[in-house]
Structure 1
Amino acid sequence: MKLHPDVQFEPQLKPNAWEQLKQFTDARIALGRAGGSLPTRPALAFQLAHAEAKDAVLKKLDIALLEQQLSALQHKMLHVQSDAADKDVYLKRPDLGRELSEESRLQLKQYAQQHPAAYDVLIVAGDGLSARAIEDNAPYFIQQFYTVCHEQNWSVAPLVIAVGSRVALGDEIASILRAKMLVMLIGERPGLSSPDSMGIYYTWQAQKGCHDAMRNCISNVRPAGLPVQVAIQRLVALMRKSCALGVSGVHLKDEHEMESIENQPLRPKKLF
């Protein structure tokens, strides 16, 4: 004996009235329905997005690829490793991702002793929670940002590529290399529509023990998010104001007017 009658749904696909709004967002809206279920196409798209997000988190940073893409800059590069020896440890122990390994700390100190000059700017590119974000976005960002640094007459420290990194890992690196301004590029936690999102964290006079209130963050830097040119405009405006005030973080507000990028060249598909 059945307590409830069977519900029969029509088998054909039923479109959603909000379909026209999908052109304005990557959010999963207006998916339609087939009977009482999700249509096959959006169901498979969701599974693909979930797999891409997991792959972004678990993927190892391809240092050789980064070196190849950045070789045209002819700029010194250093490689460091956090205390998180592998991806499994990195995900389970966030604290270890904020600490340099002893070998990397010694390497940086030796380099600093051999090159005692101080720097205005240090760029650290760390894999974070999406190595893909760094591989896809960091080379083009660094190329464009170096040009701006030279225009501002800022001296730039060797580029540091960090594996197993959290945001705070850059603080000790900047302190050892005596850099006034730290620009930390890191792969952000992937969303189901953004496995390639890169974050930029800026800190004035960074040193070990800095807390998040001392940093400025520019998030979602990627082709489908915040364009590189806009991110650089915002970052440089913050850095110039930081130099004048000697602060960063909650005491430094982004109040500049955004310049138009409509007439600037599009980002090339192949960087170098």
Structure 2
Amino acid sequence: MTNETDPWDALRRFTAARIALGRAGSSLPTAPLLAFELAHAQARDAVHQPLDTAALAEAIRAAGFDTLDVRSAAPDRDHYLRRPDLGRTLDEASGARLADHAAAMNDAPELVFVAADGLSAFAAQRHAAPLLRSVRAKLEAWNVGPVVIATQARVALGDPIGERLRAKIVVVMIGERPGLSSPDSLGLYVTYAPRAGRSDAERNCISNVRPEGLDYDAAAFRLMWLLNEARRLKLTGVGLKDHSGALPPGTDGRMLEA
């Protein structure tokens, strides 16, 4: 009996996709079947796992940022999943807390980060603080407000948060819908002049932030490029095209001179 090299083995190294799994009769072999069931369970857990806000706040403060806690109008996970509209609205107590904080600030912040559970608390728990550590050194020229930790949150919850804090730009770091190979993917949504009623066409998105996808340093570079351009052009969304990938290393997110 001869041992033959499977030509698919070399290709599997370049993708997390499930390719060339083989078969046992009319089904999958046991190992890939169990791996699929594990990935499916991890994706479901990512949706339902609550965010440990205390641990996340501690990690973010260790990265050098102040924090505030808020929640959406969705009273629990069941309502959050069935009523996306509630996840886009602050509950009354959170709105009042943000208004009180804004009144106590001497200057309105240029930039506010929101760390939100979204559809994967795993993503915010694992990646929000490391990303903030990567981007912190690039923010010397920015007036940055507290990082707002939001639960039962949709992307658009960043709009009333930024509006209450009178921020010029809000960055929502939120857990993306989990997939069968990425239950902990973090998305970054950048909105200039946030206010309730903004549409998704008025945001820029950086997706798949995690060590196995877009790593923290690369995400921080791309984010700073968008932030600097948003501040210069006074807009985000379809009017702001992300050309950061065309810039050479060492530009630190600044627009090259023409």
Give TM-score, length-normalised by structure 1. Answer: 0.87
Aligned residues: 246
- Which residue matches 2:253? none
In the alignment, the residues of structure 1 paired with residue 224 and residue 134 of structure 2 have an alpha-carbon distance, to the nearest angstrom, of 12
1:1-272 equivalent positions in 2, closer than 5 A:
17-150=7-140, 153-256=141-244, 257-260=246-249
In the alignment, the residues of structure 2 paired with residue 108 and residue 224 of structure 1 have an alpha-carbon distance, to the nearest angstrom, of 35
Give the drift of 1:235: 1.1
1:104-125 CA-partner distances (Å, limit 9, x unpaired):
0011111111224111110000
Q: Are the counterparts in 1 of residues 57 and 149 from structure 2 also a CA contact under 8 Å?
A: no
- Which residue matches 1:8? none
- Which residue matches 1:10? none
Give 1:138's aligned amino acid: A
Q: Are the counterparts in 2 of residues 234 and 258 from structure 1 also a CA contact under 8 Å?
A: no
Secondary structure at the aligned position of 1:90 is classed as: helix
Q: Percent same amino acid at aligned positions?
A: 49
Unaligned runs of 5+ in 2: 251-258
Q: Are the counterparts in 1 of residues 67 and 147 from structure 2 also a CA contact under 8 Å?
A: yes
Give 2:147's aligned amino acid: L
Give 2:172's aligned amino acid: M
Secondary structure at the aligned position of 2:180 is classed as: coil
Give the drift of 1:258: 4.3
Of 41-50 and 221-230, the range deviating more from structure 2: 221-230
In the alignment, the residues of structure 2 paired with residue 145 and residue 246 of structure 1 have an alpha-carbon distance, to the nearest angstrom, of 21
Give the drift of 1:240: 1.1
Secondary structure at the aligned position of 1:135 is classed as: helix
Q: CA RMSD in A?
A: 1.6
Give the drift of 1:48: 0.1
Give 2:146's aligned amino acid: P
In the alignment, the residues of structure 1 paired with residue 47 and residue 215 of structure 2 have an alpha-carbon distance, to the nearest angstrom, of 22
Q: Are the counterparts in 2 of residues 81 and 165 from structure 1 also a CA contact under 8 Å?
A: yes
Moved over 6 A (4+): none
Give the drift of 1:16: 6.0
Task: Call closer, same or farther: CA 1:210–1:243 in 2, change over 3 Å.
Answer: same
